[in-house]
């Protein structure tokens, strides 16, 4: 498994060994796995989810943003050598030399959502962070322990064939909750971890049990971890499956209906 090396001003503060099937939270509050006492860091700033054979960094709508290789991101598949910047801290994501890294050629769909980065350095300067302290006490406690392309401006003139179709999907609670969840992000997570987009409790539920991935061809449900496995239309899912309009997703005590809004809009 890969590890994170935490640095501040060229000083190494610690290492963290990531674990498959386990999420990692980063922020200023003590309840995070990686706690950074820095006023530029939000209480719950970001998380790293284990998905399939890789790891995805997700910003938790932080005030000052999360950066990978100096690019402001919403979500990003992590690859060997990536440098995550949060406040004045750097988190370096590395695989060991003997480890088989995920094939990047299989990750060619919607790599990273790139936002405006012009204010990055000014944000950090204005934040005037106080003395930074990082919690490394839990680094070795294993119990506490991927996508959007860079958006490029189109070359004009832009014909209809160059317009990227936006996908719209929702999950509506049938049991275990109320309302609906908009599938606006590249990844929507389901599990018992408090930072999951849909929290489902249960002794045998994975921290991140299921992800719903938005790809150009539609939405895909993927089982990640945990003894409790998801069902789609009463069929147990052990790997990945493409979701169809009005599919019923069951996991634990929660039941959800998937609605592909593109179908109702006549976009498919």
Mark which of 95, 129, 158 sits at the end of a domain.
95
Whether residues 91 and 173 share a domain: the answer is no
Residue 10, in any domain of the structure = yes
Residue 159, in any domain of the structure = no
Residue 140, in any domain of the structure = no
Residue 67: both structure tokens together: 């950066």
Q: How far apart are CA 163 and CA 150, in angstroms?
A: 15
Residue 127, in any domain of the structure = no
The number of domains in the chain is 2
- First-to-last alpha carbon distance for the chain, in angstroms, is 39
pLDDT given at position 100: 63
For residue 49, CA distances in Å to 19, 23, 57, 158, 257 come to 10, 5, 7, 37, 24
Q: How far apart are CA 225 and CA 70, in angstroms?
A: 31
Mark which of 65, 95, 125 sits at the end of a domain.
95
Residue 46, in any domain of the structure = yes
Whether residues 91 and 171 share a domain: the answer is no
Mark which of 48, 72, 95 sits at the end of a domain.
95
Residue 155, in any domain of the structure = no
pLDDT given at position 22: 83
Supply the CATH number for residue 237's domain.
2.60.200.20
Residue 204, in any domain of the structure = yes
Question: In which domain, by residue range, is 18 found?
Answer: 2-95
Residues of the chain with pLDDT under 70: 98-165, 262-268
pLDDT given at position 83: 94
pLDDT given at position 102: 64
pLDDT given at position 75: 83
pTM (2 decimals)? Answer: 0.52
Residue 141, in any domain of the structure = no
């Amino acid at each position: 498994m890969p590890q994170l090396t935490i640095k501040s001003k060229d000083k190494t503060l610690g290492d963290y060994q990531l674990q498959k099937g386990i999420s990692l939270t980063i922020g200023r509050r003590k309840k995070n796995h990686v706690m950074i006492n820095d006023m530029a860091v939000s209480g719950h700033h970001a998380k790293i989810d284990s998905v399939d054979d890789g790891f995805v960094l997700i910003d938790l709508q932080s005030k000052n943003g999360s950066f990978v290789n100096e690019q402001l991101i919403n979500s990003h598949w992590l690859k060997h050598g990536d440098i995550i910047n949060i406040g004045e801290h750097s988190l370096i994501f590395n695989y060991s030399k003997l480890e088989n890294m995920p094939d990047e050629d299989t990750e060619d769909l919607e790599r990273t959502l790139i936002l405006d980065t012009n204010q990055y350095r000014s944000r950090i300067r204005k934040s005037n962070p106080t003395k930074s302290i990082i919690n490394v006490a839990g680094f070795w406690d294993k119990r506490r322990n991927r996508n959007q392309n860079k958006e490029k401006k189109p070359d004009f003139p832009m014909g209809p064939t160059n317009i990227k179709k936006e996908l719209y999907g929702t999950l509506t609670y049938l049991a275990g909750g109320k309302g609906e969840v908009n599938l606006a992000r590249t990844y929507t997570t389901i599990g018992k971890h408090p930072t999951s987009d849909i929290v489902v409790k249960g002794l045998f539920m994975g921290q991140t049990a299921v992800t719903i991935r938005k790809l150009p061809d539609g939405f895909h449900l993927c089982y990640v971890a945990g003894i409790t496995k998801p069902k789609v239309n009463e069929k147990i899912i052990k790997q990945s499956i493409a979701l169809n309009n009005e599919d019923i997703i069951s996991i634990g005590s929660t039941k959800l209906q998937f609605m592909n809004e593109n179908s109702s809009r006549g976009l498919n």
